[in-house]
Amino acid sequence: MKLNKKIAFLLVLVLLTTIAAGCGGTKTEAPKEVLIGANFELSGNVATFGISIMNAMEMAITEINAQGGVLGLPLKMVKSDNKSDAAESTNVATKLITQDKVIALLGPVTSTNVLAAAPVAMQYKIPLLTPTGTAAKVTVGDDGKTKEYIFRNCFIDPFQGQVGANFAVNTLKAKTAALFIEKNSDYAKGLGEVFKANFTKLGGTIVSEEAFVTEDKDFRATLTKINATKPDVIYVPSYYEQDGLIAKQARELGYTNPILGADGWDSGKLLEIAGAVALQKVYFTNHYSAFSTDPKVSKFVNDYKTKFGSVPDALAALGYDSTYMIADAIKRAGAADPAKITAALATTKGFVGVTGTVTMDDKHNPIKSAVILSFDKDGNQIFVESVNP
Amino acid sequence: MEHMQIFFQQLINGISLGSIYALIALGYTMVYGIIKLINFAHGDIYMVGAYVGFFAITKLNMSFIPALVASMLFCALLGIVIERMAYKPLRNATRIAALITAIGVSLFLEYGGILIVSPQPRAFPDVFPMSKLTFFDGKVYMTNQQIVIFLVAIILMILLQYIVHRTKIGKAMRAVSYDQDAALLMGINVNTTISATFAIGSALAGAAGVLVGIYYTSISPLMGIIPGLKAFVAAVLGGIGSIPGAAVGGLLMGVIEAMVSGYWSSTLRDAVAFGILILILIIKPTGIFGKNIREKV
């Protein structure tokens, strides 16, 4: 037994030395590729978001490399799964920077997980670009200062709420509105507050403010109450599962005026839950429309469809754009140097992607347009209008 | 008039929700009546029922009635298996041990469900195309789904009442519930009777699961937690152990919730529901229909 242990120990030692030697060997060579880290929710409760983005990003990487890569080298993405968990997101960011030696980070999807990864990026001075983290504090610290290394490629919640309110007043000609807010969601509460402020500023009246919690399935009693106040529009800025149920139940109770939502409504599941009838006169603000006639968008949509068999959602589009944006910044930086890439990202101007033209403002938020989407009689998304900031 | 219409609308909302609570509460009360166990896994059997209905309709292309029956049969079987594996070995253990086991079974079903069918909610297929009846000059609405839920719930409750009071197994159930040892001495197979109780209670939960799937069109592995708790409150409100009590308690809970959300505040709805539980336990622990039996010391 003792001998066996000794032999095993020796074997392990030999193995370790070979591995170490292997590592040492590659390090001395000139870089063969430009490494960027991808910290995404590939499992856990928002896994569908992470996977959708990852698909689009891999598509973008293949395209970029087919066109010659960046700085004459191929671009390579090091994928890591943060399990939709904030603590894990911090670990993954550390691992990508210290072990994989990436020069830039992409992801995560949700604001909470971005906030968990941000301190690591700040500490190691590595630029981090989130395609989808919409919370205002992602790029701006509590002290009101912009976080130097943190960027995003999507509009922030206040803008979306404002677009919703403008659309309600100007296009839907709404004079009265009801708010139906998921009270345990920061996303929904934030949007609700901005909508309320802008709607009243534009001369509208909020006739009813009601709340629900994520676990609720039966909204009929509250919707009956809202319906009795006869609002011109109901604002429901939640995620598709609740949104779908609310739309369905509101229609069953005879509410026929428009329902307005935000980007959480963007999901194929929505139609299955609500049914096409309930989605008539439903509008929501979103990052992009797959039905735009822009050739860049239709090329992206067709390529994605051929590859993955489904219409890309806004998350996929934002992931696709973010990958190009990083590549663009590396090209403009002229070197695989994190500090120069950070400077290049901060000065992004007139970058054209499938989700619109992006110029980075001094808070590292992109100035870009939002779109309003609705549904046709079969429940398919249709493009209504584009709103510039 | 406007107020009357809103009131009737809320009443319909409440009765539909209450029918579902009542079906789940019946299972709670039956199991409690016979082995004095609060079966906390009951809400999760209701979730399993919803999924069986979902797969029966989408994968096996069944229509509503066969899917409902399939789901009830599957849940009945699941109820028997759970009783045999988890509760029977503990029948003579302390009640708290059985209660904790029930919580364990509940978590097992919830997270087993997540593992097998994924945590993402699924959209229940539209079995009945949406159509609705209107009353009071088109101001009060009742969908055909609400009518189906109410009818199925009533039919199942009548059936249950028949089984318990007019059949041999029902008589055995009542006997076992009254005194297990005496029933055993009279030649009643206590094990079979308890299994039958679990089967019937679970079948009702399965039916409730399918009805809820149709009503809300969205099902997920954790959907059973809140309705399970609410149905438990309903069973206590009606008087735990009493079958008519569970039916009335369920309907009452649904109506109370609708009225609280409609006339007071939607955020206080759950607080009121669980407040009722506390009040009942303080003021009249035996509930509305409960018999006042003194605990033997």
CB < 8 Å to A278, chain B? 130
End-to-end CA distance of chain B: 57
**Cα A313 from Cα B260, distance rounded (Å):** 39
Residue B266 and residue A245: Cβ atoms within 8 Å? Answer: no
Task: Tell me, yes or no, if B226 comes closer than 8 A to chain A by beta carbon.
Answer: yes
Task: Tell me, yes or no, if B223 comes closer than 8 A to chain A by beta carbon.
Answer: yes
Tell me if B14 is assigned to some domain: yes
The pLDDT of residue A16: 58
The pLDDT of residue A187: 81
Q: Which domains does chain A have, with CATH numbers?
A: 34-155+294-368 (3.40.50.2300), 158-286 (3.40.50.2300)
Closest listed residue to residue B249, CA positions, set B71, B16, B25:
B25
Q: What is the pLDDT of residues A190-225, one digit of tens each?
A: 899 999 999 999 999 999 999 998 878 889 999 999
Report how far apart, in Å, the C-alpha atoms of B291 and of each of B38, B157, B171, B294, B297 are: 18, 20, 19, 9, 18
Q: What is the pLDDT of residues B204-247, one digit of tens each?
A: 999 999 999 988 888 889 899 989 999 999 999 998 888 889 99
Element at A121 (helix H, strand E): helix A111-124
Residues 212-231 of A with CB under 8 A from B: 212-213, 215, 217-218, 220-222, 224-225, 228
Higher local confidence (pLDDT), A22 or B14: B14
Tell me if B106 is assigned to some domain: yes
Instruction: Taking residues B128-150, report their average pLDDT.
Output: 79
pLDDT score of B293 more than 70: no
Tell me if B161 is assigned to some domain: yes
Closest listed residue to residue B56, CA positions, set B77, B72, B78, B45:
B72
Tell me if B95 is assigned to some domain: yes
Instruction: Taking residues B108-119, report their average pLDDT.
Output: 90
pLDDT score of B50 more than 70: yes
Report how far apart, in Å, the C-alpha atoms of B13 and of each of A135, A185, A278, B246 are: 36, 26, 18, 19
Range of the domain at B49: 2-128+144-283
Mutate to test the interface with A, among B7, B217, B225 (most CBs of A within 10 A): B217
Q: What is the pLDDT of residues A252-264, one digit of tens each?
A: 888 999 999 998 8
Tell me if B136 is assigned to some domain: no
Q: What is the pLDDT of residues A43-58, one digit of tens each?
A: 877 787 888 899 999 9
pLDDT score of B250 more than 70: yes
CATH number at residue B62: 1.10.3470
The pLDDT of residue A169: 94
Q: What percent of chain B has pLDDT over 90?
A: 55
Q: What is the pLDDT of residues A292-333, one digit of tens each?
A: 778 889 999 999 999 998 888 888 999 999 999 999 999 999
Instruction: Taking residues B28-55, report their average pLDDT.
Output: 92
Q: What is the pLDDT of residues A126-181, one digit of tens each?
A: 999 999 888 888 999 888 899 999 999 998 888 889 999 999 999 999 999 999 99
Tell me if B43 is assigned to some domain: yes
pLDDT score of A234 more than 50: yes
The pLDDT of residue A9: 63
Q: With bands split at pLDDT 50, 70 and 90, how would you rate the model's confidence at A8?
A: low
The pLDDT of residue B42: 93
Tell me if B290 is assigned to some domain: no
Edge-to-edge strands of the sheet including A356-360? A351-353, A356-360, A366-367
Residues 6+ apart with CB under 8 A from A218: A249, B13, B17, B216, B257
Domain total of chain B? 1
The pLDDT of residue A25: 45
Residue A225 and residue B262: Cβ atoms within 8 Å? Answer: yes
Q: What is the pLDDT of residues A77-127, one digit of tens each?
A: 999 999 888 899 999 999 999 999 999 999 899 888 999 999 999 999 999
Nearest CB among A211, A248, A277 relative to B266 is that of: A211
The pLDDT of residue A24: 46
The pLDDT of residue A29: 58
The pLDDT of residue A342: 94
CB < 8 Å to A210, chain B? 266
Tell me if B288 is assigned to some domain: no
Residues 6+ apart with CB under 8 A from B293: none
ipTM of the complex: 0.81
Nearest CB among A48, A253, A273 relative to B9 is that of: A253
